[in-house]
Amino acid sequence: MSKRVTFQHSRRPSMSRVSGAVVAAGLGASMVFGAGAAFASGTTGTADTAALAGAATADSVAQQATAQSKAAAKAKMSKAEKAEAEKKAAAKKKAAAKKKAASWEAPVNKYVLSATYGTGGDRWASKHSGQDFAVPIGTKVEAAHTGRVVKAGPNGGGDGPAYGNAIVIKHANGKYSQYAHLSKIGVKIGDRVKTGEKIGLSGNTGNSSGPHLHFEIRTTPNYGSAINPVSYLNSVHVHI
């Protein structure tokens, strides 16, 4: 009896299995390469973000520096402007003081005009030599203009007892102003006074019928050289 010989052939993988393996391998490779690409991409993104963040920070610092520089410049300018404003204010104040010193004013602030210049009557040896300002005793008397005190004291400062306590001030333009019947004298001979400066207090001393200030404008420091004080004050833009 003849023997049947059976040949066993090595099995070759089917095309479908090969294809599946190739696809699987390809998929694995894709996944590996994809992961690598993703990793690379992630690495690049992190570097870009850091670079952008650094640039943003630098830009922010630059902006802050610029803002601070502008603020400092503004503060410096404000300081300069403040100094300039103070300088202008000081100059304005000085100019106002100079203008005031160069101006004239009435010797008292609140008053009622009483006996006028040139008035005759039994109260005066001759006609009235000044302008009377009726004010309460103790009213502040001010220098009508800048000048130097040449007379100050009782007995009319040397002009006679009729004036009581009196002051005479010499002015740069050659005129003299006199203030009489004072209750108090606040200056002495030789003192320099400015327009509006307090020189004494009104009173009722000497030949006086009631509290008032007797005011004269003279061409010399002495009695007998008086001119109309109201007309003179009008000429220097003081209207009483």
Out of 145, 212, 237, 239, the active site residue is 212
Is the C-alpha dihedral spanning 109, 154, 227, 220 positive or negative?
negative
d(CA 53, CA 60): 10
Q: How many CB atoms lie within 10 A of CB 28?
A: 10
- Secondary structure (3-state) at 170: strand
Is 239 tagged catalytic? no
Q: For residue 182, what are the β-bridge partners?
A: 165, 202
Q: How many CA atoms lie within 13 A of 118 on its CB side?
A: 5
Residue 124 phi/psi, 5-degree rounding, is -120, 145
63 membership: H or E segment, kind and range: helix 15-102
Of the candidates 170, 157, 171, 173, the residue with the CA atom closest to the CA atom of residue 205:
157
d(CA 129, CA 181): 14
Instruction: State the residue for tokens 């601070």.
Output: 68
Report the catalytic residues.
212
